[in-house]
Structure 1
């Protein structure tokens, strides 16, 4: 009679392994800290505008723009994307841009003596703000009616944001060097055109997103 060798039974570790929190639940990350820093720069930026220190304001605006690009890069490289960052990042961008357009539309903030084409025309600022309100209200309405919430920026929307960033930089350069302000009407017209086009385009873009999800769900 042959003896069977008994195989050792592996003993399971009773202590469960502690997994690190998922990336999406993290709050304190390098990208999020950069986004918060960018938001903290907004009152500094406004203070410099009120003091008519346009060159310094331009420097702060450029610094804010650099942190915007850097936080997205680090989120991908360090695998530190988070739900909080996805919310804070566009809010920080919009706060900076909307604040810039509003403050630079105030005549008392403009360089003295008043250069040509200053301040930003009221109609430009109204269209910029109205476009954002229109998209927010439209997205909220779609969410209430259909339950859809997976909105994302369109390519034209991203181009519109880039145009506004470049426009504010160009306006601050003209404020620092009033002799260069001749190009500002072109800047204002471009901002107006992209705000209107991207706002109208988002109606069709959001509709397509909703229809795609319905097809995927078999509705």
Structure 2
């Protein structure tokens, strides 16, 4: 019996967690939202580990995993703005970067060749910092910890990695497309 489907099922479960997390934030139920967010984050690590460790990678999984990440991040950032917990400009920058990446990947997929899910190191760092920022903001809203300064510093780190990773994606995929055209 093959268990290759497990990472994809975990990614789909993570996608299914997005709506309850957003609803809980909208209702100011930050502790349950934090717990579900932690579950989503843990499941992201588990599906990646299983896919790599046992070779259970698939084209579907390479698409589902970043979709789950982007839906979770974009949705939570919007809800945190609406709750007054993060500034609008930060959410806009995070979401615009993701729209540029998804739009670029879609264009590359249809105009050049099929996209292989290959996040860069800076992109992985950016995603980790975005998730950590959400974790800090939800912890602060639910538990009054960590201090505001740590959230501010982490927000600045997210800003830097969003800009650098966005430029990196646009540059590297443009070079790939040019190289493929020649």
Tell me whether the two structures share a fold, i.e. TM-score over 0.5. Answer: yes
> Closer, same or farther in 2 for the Cα pair 1:31/1:144, shift >3 Å?
closer
SS at 2:55's partner residue? coil
1:196 equivalenced with 2:163 (yes/no): yes
1:212 Cα deviation (Å)? 5.7
Aligned length: 180
Q: 2:95 aligns with which of 129, 132, 157?
A: 129
User: 2:120 corresponds to which residue?
Assistant: 154
User: 1:16 corresponds to which residue?
Assistant: none
CA distance in 2, matches of 1:45, 1:204: 34
CA distance in 2, matches of 1:66, 1:159: 16
Q: 2:35 aligns with which of 59, 69, 78?
A: 59
Q: Which ranges in structure 2 are unaligned for 5 or more consecutive residues? A: none
1:174 Cα deviation (Å)? 1.2
TM-score (norm 1): 0.73
User: 1:38 corresponds to which residue?
Assistant: 14
Decide whether the 8 Å contact of 1:175 with 1:181 is kept in 2: no
Q: Please say which structure displays the higher CA radius of gyration.
A: 1
1:207 Cα deviation (Å)? 3.2
1:86 equivalenced with 2:52 (yes/no): no
Decide whether the 8 Å contact of 2:122 with 2:165 is kept in 1: yes
Decide whether the 8 Å contact of 2:108 with 2:115 is kept in 1: no
1:80 Cα deviation (Å)? 2.4
> Closer, same or farther in 2 for the Cα pair 1:165/1:84, shift >3 Å?
same
TM-score (norm 2): 0.86
1:53 Cα deviation (Å)? 1.8
- Deviations 1:19-55, CA, capped at 9 Å, x for gaps: x9xx9xx9x7111111111111111211221221212
Decide whether the 8 Å contact of 2:34 with 2:135 is kept in 1: yes
CA distance in 1, matches of 2:60, 2:110: 22
CA distance in 1, matches of 2:62, 2:54: 15
Decide whether the 8 Å contact of 1:48 with 1:56 is kept in 2: yes
1:144 Cα deviation (Å)? 5.0
> Closer, same or farther in 2 for the Cα pair 1:141/1:36, shift >3 Å?
closer
Q: Cα RMSD (Å) of the superposition?
A: 2.4
1:140 Cα deviation (Å)? 3.6
CA distance in 1, matches of 2:6, 2:62: 13
Larger helix share, 1 or 2:
2
